[in-house]
């Protein structure tokens, strides 16, 4: 099994308060993982960090996968970034998904 946590930059979190945006981003993430070849993909939003004081939406993704080389992991991360955060926004805020 593979497990990823997708976080969003502080600058775009204001739009991440909208439930329809969260649903769309989760759907885009599942689609990206399936395009990568994973068949079973489960996701769950968490809204606050460890201390629970600041709104910090992050998507936990569990999928049928195993070890990836550094090169393949970098490619997978790039695919997910491109699916979930438009390049125009990433360039404007000079940040990307983690």
Domains of the chain, residue spans: 2-93
Instruction: Report how far apart, in Å, the C-alpha atoms of 4 and of each of 14, 35, 45, 88 are.
Output: 22, 16, 12, 24
pLDDT tens for 17-40 read 899 999 999 999 999 999 989 999
Instruction: Answer yes or no: is pLDDT of 82 > 70.
Output: yes
pLDDT tens for 34-64 read 998 999 999 999 998 777 778 889 999 999 9
Q: May I ask the CATH architecture of the domain 2-93?
A: 2-Layer Sandwich (3.30)
Instruction: Report how far apart, in Å, the C-alpha atoms of 52 and of each of 1, 43, 49, 57, 81 are.
Output: 28, 20, 5, 11, 25
Residue 37 tokens read as: 């070849």
pTM given for the model: 0.80
């Amino acid at each position: 099994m593979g497990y990823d946590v997708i976080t969003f930059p502080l600058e775009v979190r204001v739009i991440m308060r909208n439930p329809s945006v969260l649903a769309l981003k989760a759907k885009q993430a599942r689609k990206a993982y399936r395009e990568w070849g994973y068949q079973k993909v489960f996701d769950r939003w968490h809204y606050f960090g460890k201390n629970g004081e600041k709104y910090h939406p992050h998507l936990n993704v569990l999928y049928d996968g195993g070890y990836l080389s550094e090169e393949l992991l970098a490619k997978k991360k790039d695919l997910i970034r491109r699916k979930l955060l438009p390049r125009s926004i990433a360039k404007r805020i000079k940040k990307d998904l983690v």
